[in-house]
């Protein structure tokens, strides 16, 4: 009996030991190796993104613009001045607005120029001293982006804002808005050096149109248009034409250079000759201006403007009668100081 009890105790201890061993094995922790994952991001830079074909992702616009407005003022006044003199004041508003388009092989230059000046002296009514409205546009294409020569087309238009008079006569205007107005349209070759600000345009095919959109001036044959015809009693048989077209050769030049520190010279020249009407008689328009910069907002300018037009005849009163004379050189000189604002 004691032997049986001893065997049961041994078996029970064996089973308990095996059970404890299994539980211990089941409770052993599972070791898992955790490997950190690192993501590498490209560094942020200030350079612009480039497409595979070399073009920038956000290309810079080919258009550029510049706007400049200014006002020149001159004044002189006398108080008990023994040498005498006349009080006067003059003002000139001017604006220059450009819109240019440029790529490696094309350029399109657009310019609007406006001017209007008045003058007032003691004992006189206010008079106009300057008046200009001008549009210039030139488009060019070149086959080689390293060449300065362009195949070009040019359009010019100019007229005035208000009536013009031969003072002191203010009853009979000698010019009006669109009377005259001039347009040039043609094609040719253009040499353009952007660095030197030098441009020469040569066009063997240019249409020049002269508009006189005032019938009174057109009847007089002003600015070269065909004048009206009259009968013996002075009645109009045929009205004067309000336009005149010419076909000829045009050469223009533009040059801008800083000749001294803060002193810039600007030169504009236009030469035109009509094939059908006295070829070789050249219509000339020449502008030369020096701008003297005082600071960002103040500048002075000295300029000259010369015109010779074979179609514009002058008149002179001799013994009470108007006598038509030939064309003469027209010359205008200006000197001013004022405010300038560019934006």
Reported as a single tens digit per residue, the pLDDT across 57-67 is: 667 889 999 99
Give the integer Cα–Cα distance in Å for 226 and 105.
44
Strands (E), the chain: 63-76, 88-102, 106-121, 127-141, 149-159, 181-193, 198-211, 229-230, 236-238, 243-260, 263-274, 283-293, 298-308, 314-318, 321-325, 330-342
- Using an 8 Å Cβ cutoff, are 286 and 306 in contact? yes
Confidence of residue 40 (pLDDT cuts 50, 70, 90): very low
Q: Mean of the per-residue pLDDT values for the chain?
A: 86
The alpha-helical segments, DSSP class H, found in 185-337 are 215-219
Q: Convert the pLDDT of each residue in 227-275 to its tens digit.
A: 999 999 889 999 999 999 999 999 999 999 999 999 999 999 999 999 9
- Using an 8 Å Cβ cutoff, are 142 and 103 in contact? no
- pLDDT exceeds 90 at position 213: yes
Q: Which CATH entry fits the domain spanning 66-342: 2.40.230, 2.40.160, 3.40.50, 2.30.29?
A: 2.40.230
pLDDT at 175 (0 to 100) = 96
Give the integer Cα–Cα distance in Å for 88 and 232.
48
DSSP state of 3: H
pLDDT at 324 (0 to 100) = 73
Confidence of residue 3 (pLDDT cuts 50, 70, 90): very low
pLDDT at 84 (0 to 100) = 83
Burial (Cβ within 10 Å: 0-12, 13-18, ≥19) of residue 282? middle
- Using an 8 Å Cβ cutoff, are 276 and 262 in contact? no
Tell me the mean pLDDT in the region 295-305. 94
**Closest Cα partner for 74 from 307, 300, 257?**
300
Strands 181-193 and 149-159: antiparallel
Report the run of H or E that residue 14 belongs to, with start and end. Answer: helix 2-26
- pLDDT exceeds 50 at position 32: no
Give the integer Cα–Cα distance in Å for 223 and 54.
56
Report the run of H or E that residue 178 belongs to, with start and end. Answer: none
Tell me the mean pLDDT in the region 106-114. 97
Please give the model's pTM, rounded to 2 decimal places: 0.79
pLDDT at 176 (0 to 100) = 97
Count of beta carbons in the 10 Å neighbourhood of residue 156 = 20
**Closest Cα partner for 250 from 235, 272, 268, 266?**
272
User: What is the residue extent of each domain of the chain?
Assistant: 66-342
Question: In the block, which residue shows the tokens 């508009």?
Answer: 211
């Amino acid at each position: 009996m004691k032997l049986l009890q001893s065997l049961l105790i041994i078996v029970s201890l064996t089973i308990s030991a095996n059970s404890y061993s299994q539980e211990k094995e089941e409770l052993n922790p599972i070791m898992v190796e955790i490997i950190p994952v690192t993501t590498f991001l490209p560094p942020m830079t200030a350079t612009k993104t480039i497409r595979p074909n070399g073009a920038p992702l956000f290309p810079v616009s080919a258009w550029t613009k510049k706007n400049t407005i200014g006002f020149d003022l001159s004044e002189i006044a006398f108080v008990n001045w023994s040498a005498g003199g006349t009080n006067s004041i003059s003002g000139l508003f001017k604006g220059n607005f450009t819109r240019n388009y440029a790529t490696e092989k094309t350029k399109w230059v657009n310019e609007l120029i406006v001017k209007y000046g008045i003058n007032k002296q003691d004992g006189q009514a206010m008079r106009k001293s300057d008046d200009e409205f001008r549009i210039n546009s030139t488009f060019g294409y070149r086959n080689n982006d390293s060449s300065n020569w362009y195949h070009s087309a040019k359009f010019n238009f100019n007229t005035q804002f208000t009536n013009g008079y031969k003072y002191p006569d203010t009853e009979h205007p000698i010019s009006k808005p669109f009377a005259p107005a001039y347009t040039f349209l043609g094609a040719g070759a253009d040499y353009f050096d952007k660095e030197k600000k030098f441009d020469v345009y040569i066009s063997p095919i240019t249409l020049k149109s002269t508009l006189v959109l005032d019938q009174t001036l057109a009847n007089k044959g002003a600015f070269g248009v065909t004048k009206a015809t009259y009968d013996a009693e002075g009645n109009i048989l045929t009205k004067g034409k309000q336009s005149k077209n010419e076909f000829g050769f045009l050469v223009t030049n533009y040059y801008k250079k800083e000749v001294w520190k803060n002193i810039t010279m600007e030169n504009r020249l236009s030469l035109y000759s009509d094939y059908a009407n006295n070829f070789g008689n050249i219509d000339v328009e020449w502008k030369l201006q020096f701008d003297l910069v005082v600071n960002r907002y103040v500048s002075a300018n000295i300029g000259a403007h010369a015109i010779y037009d074979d179609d514009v005849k002058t008149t002179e009163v001799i013994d009470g009668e108007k006598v038509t004379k030939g064309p003469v050189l027209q010359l205008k000189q200006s000197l001013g100081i004022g405010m300038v604002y560019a934006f």
